[in-house]
Chain A
Amino acid sequence: MRYSGFKVIKEALSGHKGWKPAWREPDPKPHYDVVIIGGGGHGLATAHYLAKVYGQKNIAVIEKGWIGGGNVGRNTTIIRSNYLLDGNEPFYEFSLKLWEGLEQDLNYNAMVSQRGIMNLIHSDAQRDAFVRRGNAMMLNGADAEYLDEAQIRREYPFLKFDDQRFPIKGGLAQRRGGTVRHDAVAWGYARSADSHGVDIIQNCEVTGFRIEGGVCKGVETSRGFIGAGKVGCAVAGNSSRVMAMAGMRLPIESHVLQAFVSEGLKPVLPGVITFGAGHFYVSQSDKGGLVFGGDLDGYNSYAQRGNLPVVEDVCEGGMAIMPMIGRARLLRMWGGIMDMSMDGSPYIDRTHIEGLYFNGGWCYGGFKATPASGYTFAHLLAKDAPHETATAYRLDRFKTGHMIDEKGMGNQPNLH
């Protein structure tokens, strides 16, 4: 069923009786060509591109709970491609381009809104680093713009410029960055994948891998064994738990990242703003809530909730840079489990087990990566070779010494 304005009007006039489920609820078949573990954004996107771009027919996505219930449903909805390193920038730029055509591709309005993202600069050293980054972005074909203090004052007059502990000296903007209605991304990919014949199997937990002679033959699940020609794992947040069932230890720690939303307010923020001298970034949703976040709580956790010190730290950052929000109220706080990798960059790679493929380690960059992650993982699954924009995301890069460390924090995941 195609969605359109006409369809909405027609249904409104006939009591909305004609809307069909957005996806089927099939029982698992005994065997698929490709089984994707994880009905989150990345897994569903992988299925969509496998079916639509790579022409694969017999695909299942299996999900422990409900689709879209992981990090795609609990993030701060930001998209951008403002990366520094060559291992990352082409990939995230590819992702941004996919975002730009997503709604037409999916026939689903995920409200991709390119309202821009602006990183504030507060010191000379930070400016040097951001200039290097902005140049790297442009050399990779992305857009970037340097704003001096006067321009920032014009565009963001509500920021705190005077009596500022860390004065604003400029900013690096990416106008094509922005926000997306996060839940709709999962639903849109799911609906499209389903319409291309992908079986989306909810409430189906993987309990083990069937590995024979070094080859992965399928997965054991709470709904029985499901055979597979290839198995792709896209369960960021829980990668270590799932891959441990295949006997693998990963270069990943799971950490909690909190995010926050305020009560609905009349629109004030033009786009995404990140504070460069504290832990605070913010945007405003189409419903009016200020959506904001900051740093990891810092300790390993699978609890999907955080603690007060980080809540306070984030709000301190917010009040430092934007003290007009003092009387706005924080409405909700929540935590997501981040697959924190050892250099802050993800993995999309084959494993040493034939037929088993891995996608994870997204740190807190997973949401914006969703389309490209799905696309390149689909490419890897279909072609057995990495997509050209994802060649650096190898699992063995620590052995070879080819880290992709944007922040330069080394092998301590909670610092990335």
Chain B
Amino acid sequence: MSQVNRLDGGQIDRAASFKFKFDGKDFFGHPGDTLASALLANGVRLMGRSFKYHRPRGPLTAGSEEPNALVTLRDGARAEPNTRATTAELFHGLTARSQNCWPSVKFDMMAVNDAASDFLAAGFYYKTFMWPAPFWEKVYEPIIRRAAGLGALSMKEDPDEYDKGFRHCDLLIIGAGPSGLMAALSAGRAGKEVILADEDFALGGRLLSERLEIGGASALDWTAQTVAELSSMPNVRLMPRTTIIGAFDHGIYGAVERVSDHLAVPAKGKPRQILWRIYADKTLLCAGATERPIAFENNDRPGIMLASAMRSYVNRWAATPAHRVAIFTSCDDGHRTAADLHAKGVKIAAVIDTRAQAPQSFDYEVLAGAEVSNTKGRLGLTFVEVKLADGSSRTVECSALGMSGGWNPNVHLTCHQRGRPAWDSVLSAFVPGGSLPQGMSVAGAAMGDFTTHGALLSGAKGAADALGIKTADVPMAEDAPPKQAAFWFVEGAKRAWLDQQNDVTVKDVVLAHQEGFRSVEHLKRYTTLGMATDQGKTSNMGGLAIMAELAGKAIPEVGTTIFRPPYTPVAIGALAGRMRGMEFHPTRLTPSHVWAKERGAVFVEVGNWLRAQWFPIAGETHWRQSVDREVAQTRASVGVCDCTTLGKIDVQGADAAHFLNKLYCNPFAKLAVGKVRYGLMLREDGIAMDDGTAARLAEDHFVVTTTTAKAGPVYQHMEFVRQCLMPDADVQLISTTEAWAQYAVAGPNSRALLQKIVDPEFDISNEAFEFMACANITVCGGLRARLFRISFSGEMAFEIAVPSRYGDALMRRLMAAGEEFDVVPYGTEALGVMRIEKGHAAGNELNGTTTANNLGMGRMVSKKKDSIGTVLSERAGLNEEDALKLVGVKPLNRAEKITAGGHLMAAASPVDAAHDQGYVTSAAYSPEVGSMIGLAFIKSGDARMGEKMRLVSPLTKSEVEVEVTSAHFVDPEGGRQRA
């Protein structure tokens, strides 16, 4: 098909042609076209179907406020549902499909809903589908759900990348129409840092769509010169294709830049879109205005659109929706459209003006005091019926109808912080209200300055006022005072659309009112008015006006609606940026990672860390084989485990001991230099927060360890205590977690192994370096290191730390030196098995609800001193007689499984919540015990040793008989670790 509706002129590049496809058919357009303008140029008016009644629809607008012309753009994984044809930039090879129709946009089976529309009035579903009860979910809802939605997801991963970025400026100007350009010019020339953002790909706003003059020359020339001057200023950044999506607190704006949406595929390494966070000292909103439609019978047919949109299509894109066009207007602006179209050679069938005093024209017929009473043409307008001033009717043949009900300032961003717009009775429109977001002011049509000169002037003044600079001189331009009278709907219409996408008609609003849904919020929710993808940009005001009429009140008394971010819908991918896939969270690698990978370790995510979980060797086919071997070999000889992930906090200062005494519930003041002590930290509410060790390296120097998971929160807590509770204490803190590679060397041969690498001047014999000792030492011929004699495994064990960059080499050295002892590297699984065998609490036990008492450490809580949490740990509810106590459990039948998360029931009790005795926190197979074992919190557990209980897990369908035991399955006396 050729471009039958293409006119002369326009801002398109006719030298080049883009081939594109819509609903399987090939078309041609030009650079500078949108999909909508190119389709109109090709004589296509029908582009989509409405949500509820599946009415045939064409574009209503030429911009981002479009409710109707929604298509699925692109194919395959890049398919992008609900894309507005009116803003989609044409590119070579573009493909688009209409949506919400089957089998085709011209013949849509679901259009049967339209015939049944009487039964589908607002809120009908709340009143029916209730009987019989199961039918809602089994019958009715599936039918309704099948009809839901507009476009479809591809069901494939989005292949494009998105970036996030941050920009700062003195003045953010939102919208590059006359006021925005003038403001940018003023601020730019004054040397201020300026960002000028516009959602369009071309800067100029309405100037691109009008036949106007500025300063005696064409407005297009002025626009081009202005943009050129702005581009040359290093302090001005022009951001076309960028939508300011929201005004957030304190001058922070979200902006989405569509970097590659006008390309078939983004260039390699380049993002599809960028979400910018703009930090603006001041903001000038120059967002323009949106023309209002008029509600009349069948006002939704393809070919019926806003008059200003027609002007845009004709002037900017040289595309007319039809060659015979009528205009329905309540203000002078409709006549401007008629004049522009006429000038371009489009036949104006008539201008139907609601006003008796309508201006007349020599070029076309004007029907004053007339209204459109109906329209015809199922898939595209064929004629309109007009009720004339004298009450008679006539028809006007036309294939397109422009509606002009006046203009509404685009106040959306002024409301993002819940500010309310104010009513301007001269304009019969809402204008920005008093409480704007911090730093924001408004200029141009967004403020109600509807003339070109007014816009230029208010842009210049807006910039000057915001920045305290001189107001720039403004060129002359059109300055006709705006005349707009309110005209919202034609009386007596049966089906007159307000919200075209959601199919909300005047009648629905009347029904809502009749049923008591009279607040604006009730109206919106009951009828879905304004809830569609256009967020009611063209429909909310009409709904309000009708509510006002029904209530016999003025519009501002009925209320306003709040506009919420985003200004236009935003791709979820853009809001996520690069934080997806393997980049969702940063990955933390341990110092032995490279070595462990070489060694074939299986890794596991522990918070953001990746840790070696186990190290399979040849012949092992199941993880348990590896883990059992690692445990057995460690307990029999020696094993090495990377425990760098534990938090390490350097605590220094004269009051360091005093400080730790406050933090830990057990005493620390008298810990000797060269010694380590286990410590339990409580939250102020008396619940255990974290445990770890504190090593006293010097009188005024401790190294505190935390669990891997709590390193951050514990550090924050320590800073709170230091700065807010003990502000005069001489204590300094810094995290050193990643500075040191720290390895546990555990097992009866651990000392012998370490003696091979610890420099000989350091005696690490049991006498010189007993259990819970610590020291600064050197290894491998002089490398500074720290050595701690602590044990998580229950074996004789050490933890040795060296600067992280040497961690890899130290691990290799330990493995080499340990060959003679059959040294084994072990991972987090074996670590877990050995700690469960020893009954050490870990994250599963320190779950944020357990007390020292529950953990069997009640006696550790010092009564002699005040520490965080001690007072509240004494509350009755935390010290009841049958409080949970940490114990061990093992199956009576060794072959049976202990399920972590299983609950414990007394031998003969019913299995229900009322008889719940506790739960298993951790479970593992213990090579030493020869069966699975578990740690459990059981009511009065410490008094129930030997009791036979049932471990039930209905979720995993298991029930096992267990015996309550001590939590210390291995070496309960602790002889091994002291050896």
Contacts and interface: CB of A to CB of B under 8 A. Distances in A.
A268 interface: yes
Contacts of A304: 418
Contacts of A129: 844, 847, 901
Given A136-B913, A288-B149, A130 B901 contact: yes
Interface stretch (A220-228, A315-323, A358-366): A315-323
B133 interface: yes
A139 B913 contact: yes
A265 B158 contact: no
Contacts of B136: 103, 109, 111-113
Contacts of A164: 581-582
A324 interface: yes
A399 B514 contact: no
Contacts of B585: 165-166, 277-278
Nearest to B142: A267
A200 to B, nearest CB: 10
Contact of A165 (B126, B146, B533, B584): B584
A287 B132 CA distance: 23
Contact of A103 (B130, B566, B576, B844): B130
Nearest to B912: A139
A408 interface: yes
Contacts of B82: 263-265, 329
B856 interface: no
Contacts of B575: 311-312, 315-316, 330
A152 to B, nearest CB: 15
Given A267-B146, A268-B155, A319 B848 contact: no
Best-buried of B82, B418, B584 by chain A (most CB within 10 Å): B584
Contacts of A149: none
B142 to A, nearest CB: 9
B367 to A, nearest CB: 31
B843 interface: yes
Interface in B27-84: 51, 78-82
Contacts of B780: none
B150 interface: yes
A134 B127 CA distance: 36
Given A264-B148, A327-B79, A12 B121 contact: yes
A125 B844 CA distance: 7
B577 A312 contact: yes
A410 interface: yes
Contacts of A320: 576, 579-581, 584
Chain A CB within 10 A, most for which of B535, B583, B847, B876:
B847
Interface in B862-881: 872, 875-879
Interface residues of B, number: 121
Contact of B911 (A134, A139, A303, A329): A139
A328 B535 CA distance: 16
A307 B248 contact: yes
B576 A318 contact: yes
Nearest to A190: B516
Interface in B912-948: 912-913, 916, 919-923
Nearest to B686: A401
B164 interface: yes
A131 to B, nearest CB: 3
Interface stretch (B330-338, B453-461, B482-490, B517-525): B517-525
B953 A131 contact: yes
A285 B954 CA distance: 32
Contacts of A315: 572-573, 575-576
B141 A308 contact: no
A263 B528 CA distance: 13
A208 to B, nearest CB: 25
Contacts of B465: none
Contacts of B528: 287
Given A66-B522, A122-B605, A139-B913, A262 B564 contact: no
Interface string B565-599: 11001111101110111111101000000000000
A230 to B, nearest CB: 27
B515 A316 contact: no
Given A134-B955, A308-B246, A128 B584 contact: no
A411 B154 contact: no
B260 interface: no
Nearest to B116: A12
Interface string A166-207: 110000100000000101100110000000000000000000
A114 interface: yes
A113 B145 CA distance: 11
Interface string B145-162: 110111111111110101
A166 B584 contact: yes
A400 B516 CA distance: 47
A304 B154 CA distance: 34
A158 B149 contact: no
Nearest to A407: B848
A258 to B, nearest CB: 10
Nearest to A104: B133
A128 B900 contact: yes
B956 interface: yes
B323 to A, nearest CB: 34
A166 B605 contact: yes
A264 B67 CA distance: 13
A286 B51 CA distance: 12
A311 B248 CA distance: 11
Interface stretch (A19-27, A42-50, A234-242): A19-27
A287 B155 contact: no
A287 B80 contact: no
Interface in A97-138: 101, 103-104, 107-114, 122-125, 127-136, 138
Max count, chain A CB within 10 A of own CB: residue among B683, B900, B913, B916: B913
26 contacts: A110-B126, A114-B137, A124-B604, A127-B901, A128-B901, A131-B900, A132-B919, A141-B912, A167-B605, A285-B148, A287-B528, A288-B150, A312-B275, A312-B576, A320-B584, A323-B581, A326-B157, A326-B162, A326-B572, A327-B573, A330-B566, A333-B566, A401-B686, A403-B849, A408-B847, A410-B687
A-B pairs with lowest CB-CB distance, top 4: A408-B848, A288-B149, A326-B158, A131-B901
Interface of A: 3-5, 7-9, 12-13, 16, 19-23, 25, 65-66, 68-69, 73, 86, 89-90, 101, 103-104, 107-114, 122-125, 127-136, 138-141, 144-146, 158, 160, 163-167, 172, 181, 183-184, 187-188, 262-268, 277-278, 284-289, 303-305, 307-308, 311-312, 315-316, 318-320, 323-334, 397, 399-403, 405, 407-411
Given A265-B152, A401-B878, 16 more contacts: A22-B517, A66-B522, A89-B913, A110-B126, A128-B922, A129-B901, A139-B911, A165-B585, A166-B605, A172-B955, A264-B149, A265-B81, A278-B584, A323-B158, A325-B573, A328-B81
